[in-house]
Structure 1
């Protein structure tokens, strides 16, 4: 069977530190060209959920996550593990992406089969993990094999269990909103400080897109260190990593402990040189919508090209990987190399 459930590998990486019309549709991000295609390889949807009801005031203060929860997916990444287990493509999906939701019963009016448009992070609030998954499938044409959800405290535990996250920044990052106070240089952050690093939106440059870049760096660091440690090579290492992941995160019904172990084995030949990062190409970061205000509109032509490459289990081209909104430059290379890990 194909390498379904790329959890373990991404867990090893994302985990080592881990874990967004007037004429309804005229302005909408286009639905993927062609029907949902299971394709080749394995697709895992990884989300960070802004959920705080289960946290005490003391925990919220400690994590610096006060304020009102949105009960939405604050972070959304799609990880594609190739069929031969040698290449990983990690695609960040802007949380404010303007898409049409998959059919569901709208909690507001009870209308069955509702397919109204909205920001993709709101699909979770409208229909939980099931609607979030189906909406991503509808928008990208990629079949989701597995789903991994992390809350703020779950992410913190996961990072700590894998020994923290190495962060390298060439400038001072100071944000009282997220609680991030980080001087320039290289250091290993614990789970709590890593959470602040991946959540900050009020440093230069501000906003969600540079924040996604920082999230990709955290994943790249975790992946690089996991592969270098050889943890995926032995049975005991894979068991330990899978146990840590399931302790901190919530998987869907299709993903069990045995699946994670198989994925760990399948991904043992992965290398950082064959790991690539991208963000869904964007046409407008301030696309005004009639109901949801400012949203992110995808560059449909480039986005569809990227989705087709993933469905065909092909490497992403340099053009696919280019995202000047996140990189801040025109070169656009994205890999797990030094440029991704140590530039801010």
Structure 2
């Protein structure tokens, strides 16, 4: 949704393109509030739950790996969170297909979530995985060194050096400090949606994409986890077939999720609450600052008031690469408007996304 999520708007950053791909690249979204149900566990008095949930969590000490050569932190209580969806084929993800099949991981979805001062509003900027960038030299999560690389795909940063390299690449691209890091995998996303009881969306046209195994007639549907996963990773059944169209579907799904999550008993049913917390903590990898239930509770509790009506969702301004229709290039002047707005804790101006490539799928899915 490069033009401020305006339904039906078509970008002028390049011609309509169908981007054939032989392999199924999967998109996955996760938002910071998927762990919000943990907050209420503080009132259960069941201390053993904390021990179990703490044991589920995985964390990465990104601050230690990256050291002090980073953008400075904001001087207010705003926060930037890099949210990645990974497509590792390890464990339960093998059954979902696609990918290399060798247990390695890629980041197929990347979002910068900017929580504004006061934690009442959020801005979400999606970064297309197919964006051509210059990746800085980085140290991988295991301490290995990787030289800088020019003209590579954005998602290669994660596959090269893991979470720490992905964070450094985003900070180099944006000039913004990433205060936190959250990552989730395919099987976890599917389970989270099922634990939430599904998410209701309305499709304005038929979606039929054999690549993502998704077939939905136009109309209103309550998607289970498998269907939701198909929706957020489909690209060939909507818009121009590009990753940009898939990002628009992901953003629409996030809006639908945010509108419904507090209406399905998550915060009133102890059983549902625990199931969600158990699944979320098994699914999510965090930075070390969020690597305990208490810290994750505090963080998630600060986001509970952010709903669909006070989220602004955009895509990093890009244009199609004239040398390769399967890639996009950063519109640097417009992207600077986005990063300057977030640095100043201001909404992203409409001028930042007008006239950029969109993927042409902005009106396919909405909340009912």
The answer to whether the superposition gives a TM-score over 0.5 is yes
Q: SS of the counterpart of 1:254? A: helix
- Structure with the bigger RCO (C-alpha within 8 Å, sep 6+) is 2
Of the candidates 178, 189, 201, which is equivalent to residue 155 of structure 1? 189
Indicate yes or no: 2:366 matched with 1:341.
Answer: yes
Deviations 1:274-294 (A, max 9, x none): 211000001x322538xxx95
Rounded Cα–Cα distance in structure 1 between residues aligned with 2:123 and 2:286? 20
> Where does 1:1-344 land on structure 2 (aligned, <5 Å)?
8-9=32-33, 11-12=35-36, 36-39=71-74, 40=76, 41-55=78-92, 60=95, 63=96, 65-66=97-98, 68-69=100-101, 71-104=105-138, 112=145, 114-117=147-150, 118-205=152-239, 206-227=241-262, 242-255=277-290, 256-282=292-318, 284-288=319-323, 294-320=326-352, 322=354, 325-326=357-358, 328=360, 341-342=366-367
After TM superposition, give the deviation of residue 320 of structure 1 in Å. Answer: 3.4
With over 3 angstroms needed to count, the CA separation of the structure-2 counterparts of 1:327 and 1:156, relative to structure 1, is same
Query: What's the TM-score, normalizing by structure 2?
Result: 0.71
Q: Deviations over 1:169-210 (max 9, x none)?
A: 111100111111111101111111111111111113211101
Query: Residue in 1 aligned with 2:52?
Result: none
Deviations 1:272-320 (A, max 9, x none): 32211000001x322538xxx9532111011011011111111222233
> SS at 2:339's partner residue?
helix
Q: Note if contact 1:80-1:88 (Cα within 8 Å) is conserved in structure 2.
A: yes
- Do the aligned partners of 2:190 and 2:226 also contact (CA within 8 Å) in 1? yes
TM-score (norm 1): 0.75
Count of residues paired in the alignment: 298
Partner of 2:58: none
Counterpart Cα distance in 2 of 1:7 and 1:199: 15
Are 2:171 and 2:177, in contact at CA under 8 Å, matched by a contact in 1?
Answer: yes
The whole-number CA distance in structure 1 between the counterparts of 2:299 and 2:198 is 23
| Cα RMSD after superposing both structures | 3.4
CA distance in 2 between partners of 1:7 and 1:268 (Å): 12
Hey, what's the Cα distance between the residues in 2 that align with 1:237 and 1:50? 26
